[in-house]
Structures are given as C-alpha cells and as structure tokens.
C-alpha cells in the first residue's frame, strides 16, 4: 500500500463516487484530508464519518480556490496532494447544446481543474522542506473515445489531459518536485454514470457488456490508482496518464 503518512491532501467532489472512495483510501493510507464539494450536506456527512475536514466549494469559482488551499494549510501546516476530481456531465450533443450548458461544463471540469492546479502549486512551492507535491487530475476515457451525446463533457476531459502535461512540465522546468498526472477512469459505478444512464437508458448495461472485463469499475479501483500517484513511490512519473478502464480502450472495436 502507498504510504501517505504525514501528507496533507485536498480532494474535490468528495461527497460521492470516485471522490468519496478516494477520500477514504487516502485516509486509510495515512493522509490528512480537506474534502470539498458543492453538496454541503452530503460532503459534510461523508467527511465527518471518514474523519476528514470539509469545506463547501464550487470548483468553478476561481475566487474561492486560494481560500480553500489556505484552509488546508492553516489546519494541517502544508499541502502535498490535490485530487481535482469534481466533475459534471451534460447529456447535450453538438445538435442541442446551449451556451449556458457548454459554459458550465467547461467551467467545472476544465477551469476548476486549472484553478485548483494554480492555487495548489502556489502553496506547494512553499512547503516546509522545499517545493513538493502531487496533483492528480481526473479525466475520462471520453477524452479519447468521445460521447456523441455529450460534446462539452468529452471536450472538457480531452482538455484536462493536455493541460495536465503542461502543468507537469512547467513544474519540472521550475525545478519543483511537484508532479502532475492524470487518471483516466472508464465507466465507474457512481452518480455521474447514473445521470448519463438517465439520458441514455441502457448505457450502463451496454458499456459493461462491451467491456473486456464485462463489468463497470468500482470507485475504489480508481481510488487505488490515485493513491499510487499521490505517493512518493515513483518520483520520476509526471505528465503521465493511468487508464483505469478494465481494458476498454485497449481492444480492437471488432472484438
Ligand atoms: N463514473 C464514471 O463512469 C466516470 C468515468 C470517467 C471519469 N469520471 C470522472 O470522475 C470524477 C468523479 O465523478 P463520479 O463518477 O464520482 O461522479 P459523482 O457524480 O458520483 O461525483 C461527483 C461529485 O462532484 C461534486 N460536484 C459537482 N459539481 C461540483 C462543483 N462545481 N464543485 C464541487 N463539487 C462538485 C458532486 O456534488 C459529487 O459529489 C468526475 O470528474 C468524472 O468526470 C467518472
């Protein structure tokens, strides 16, 4: 198991799904956590149960990010890990997406992730003992195999992949030991997939049936990959991507 003892983490979108599983996993590995979510009631309840601190946050509100980072540092003295996990789907194709829907999904999934990276790096570079940290951004297999039914979600996740590499290489060039990597989940049994199922009934069963493993992911499996990237196990790994998709993107479409 990765050793995260002594480390301090922020996990966004911690109230549900992959975020909740990640928060629990990082605590089990020894980290102290500030969990954040736009859903105050569910986020606070989850954090209280898990033994984490909680803050209400809309990740798309750039003005809030420095305060969230400051809260983690005031509570725990440093910031080692940021998991940019919060995300939304829209169910809108290029045929019917309206401006507000497009702006919102880009604001949450892409701008929120950028603002998190920016605020975290500004703090991580001043960590006691020198600039250090690990940022894990959550993309999606839709970044490589986009959904015709969700143009904004697919575009936002594609942009998160590329942005993470820019963040990673800039930090490396500054001489900071701050890594930025991307986890790319496939279909995972969470609230977001249930929302997608409402737009496209039968989606979950269809995705599971075409997956090489014939099933959806458990959020704890994605959290395990995040915990590895959050740890010091491989300090040379930055700008990298970890697929947690049960092999879904690794098979010829004819099979
Ligand atoms: N479930 C999947 O199949 C799947 C696949 C690939 C990628 N992902 C990605 O995993 C991440 C987590 O999603 P999930 O599947 O756990 O979904 P989820 O809906 O269960 O959890 C998302 C959480 O983010 C929170 N959130 C939404 N908007 C927010 C905002 N503006 N600010 C702060 N918090 C906000 C929600 O309240 C919720 O708690 C997302 O980035 C998603 O795109 C999920």
Q: What is the pLDDT of residues 24-68, one digit of tens each?
A: 999 999 999 999 999 999 999 999 999 999 999 999 999 999 999
Clarify whether 176 is annotated catalytic: no
Q: Which atom of ligand 1 is nearest to the CA of 196?
A: 3
Under the banding of pLDDT at 50, 70 and 90, the label for residue 251 is very high
Q: What CATH number should be reported for the domain holding residue 177?
A: 3.40.50.720
The closest of 183, 195, 106, 108 to 139, measured between CA atoms, is: 183
Under 8 Å CB-to-CB from 101, ≥6 apart: which residues? 90, 92, 152
Work out the mean pLDDT of the chain and round it to a whole number. 96
pLDDT computed for residue 29 by the predictor = 98
**Residue 159: pLDDT above 90?**
yes
Under the banding of pLDDT at 50, 70 and 90, the label for residue 92 is very high
Q: Which atom of ligand 1 is nearest to the CA of 61?
A: 31
pLDDT computed for residue 253 by the predictor = 84
Sign of the dihedral defined by the CA atoms of residues 155, 141, 220, 31, in that order: negative
Residue 202 in any domain: the answer is: no
Under the banding of pLDDT at 50, 70 and 90, the label for residue 203 is confident
Mean pLDDT of 217-238: 98
pLDDT computed for residue 110 by the predictor = 98
**Percent of the chain with pLDDT strictly greater than 70:** 100
Residue 33 in any domain: the answer is: yes
Residue 198 in any domain: the answer is: no
**Residue 196: pLDDT above 90?**
no
Residue 213 in any domain: the answer is: no
**DSSP letter (8 states) at residue 109:** I
For the chain, first and last CA: distance in Å?
A: 35
pLDDT computed for residue 198 by the predictor = 86
Q: Around Cβ 50, how many Cβ atoms within 10 Å?
A: 17
Residue 254 in any domain: the answer is: no
CA-CA distance, 17 to 59, in Å (whole number)? 17
Under the banding of pLDDT at 50, 70 and 90, the label for residue 164 is very high
Helix axes 219-230, 17-28, angle to 10 degrees: 50
**Cα–ligand 1 centroid distance for 218 (angstroms):** 14
Lowest-confidence pick of 31-40, 51-60, 187-196, 231-240: 187-196
Regarding the beta carbon of 152 and ligand 1, being less than 6 Å apart is answered no
Nearest Cα residue to atom 32 of ligand 1: 58
Mean pLDDT of 226-246: 98
Residue 252 in any domain: the answer is: no
CA-CA distance, 238 to 177, in Å (whole number)? 10
What is the layout of strands, in order, in the sheet containing 241-244?
53-56, 32-37, 8-12, 81-84, 132-138, 177-185, 241-244
Regarding the beta carbon of 124 and ligand 1, being less than 6 Å apart is answered no
Under 8 Å CB-to-CB from 153, ≥6 apart: which residues? 87, 88, 89, 90, 105, 109, 140, 142, 147
Domain that holds residue 91: 8-189+218-245
**Cα–ligand 1 centroid distance for 109 (angstroms):** 9
Residues 71, 74, 75, 79, Cα dihedral to 10°: 80
Report the SS3 class of residue 25: helix
Mean pLDDT of 79-92: 97
**Cα–ligand 1 centroid distance for 41 (angstroms):** 16
Query: Which of 86, 153, 192, 243 does the annotation list as catalytic?
Result: 153
pLDDT computed for residue 192 by the predictor = 86
Q: Around Cβ 126, how many Cβ atoms within 10 Å?
A: 11
Regarding the beta carbon of 58 and ligand 1, being less than 6 Å apart is answered yes
Residue 251 in any domain: the answer is: no
Helix and strand numbers (H, E) in the chain are 9, 7
Q: Give Cα 54 to chain centroid, integer Å.
A: 17
Q: Around Cβ 75, how many Cβ atoms within 10 Å?
A: 13
Q: Give Cα 160 to chain centroid, integer Å.
A: 10
**Residue 199: pLDDT above 90?**
no
**Cα–ligand 1 centroid distance for 128 (angstroms):** 32
Report the number of distinct structural domains present in the chain: 1
Return the H-helix or E-strand segment holding 168. Answer: helix 151-174
């Amino acid at each position: 198991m990765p050793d995260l003892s002594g480390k301090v983490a922020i996990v966004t979108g911690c109230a549900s799904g992959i975020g909740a599983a990640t928060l629990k996993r990082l605590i089990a590995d020894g980290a102290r956590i500030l969990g954040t979510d736009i859903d105050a009631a569910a986020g606070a309840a989850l954090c209280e149960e898990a033994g984490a601190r909680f803050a209400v946050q809309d990740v798309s509100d750039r003005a809030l990010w420095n305060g969230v980072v400051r809260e983690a540092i005031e509570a725990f003295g440093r910031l080692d890990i940021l998991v940019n996990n919060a995300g939304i789907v829209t169910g809108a194709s290029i045929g019917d997406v309206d401006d507000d829907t497009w702006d919102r999904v880009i604001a949450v999934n892409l701008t929120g992730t950028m603002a998190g990276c920016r605020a975290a790096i500004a703090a991580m570079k001043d960590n006691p003992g020198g600039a250090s940290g690990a940022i894990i951004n959550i993309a999606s297999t839709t970044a490589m195999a986009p959904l015709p039914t969700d143009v904004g979600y697919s575009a936002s996740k594609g942009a998160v992949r590329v942005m993470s590499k820019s963040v990673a290489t800039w930090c490396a060039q500054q001489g900071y030991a701050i890594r930025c990597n991307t986890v790319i989940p496939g279909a995972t049994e969470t609230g977001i997939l249930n929302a997608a199922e409402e737009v496209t009934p039968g989606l979950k069963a269809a995705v599971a049936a075409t997956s090489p493993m014939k099933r959806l992911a458990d959020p704890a499996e994605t959290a395990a990959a995040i915990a590895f990237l959050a740890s010091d196990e491989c300090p040379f790994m930055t700008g990298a991507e970890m697929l947690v998709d049960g092999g879904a993107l690794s098979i010829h479409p004819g099979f």
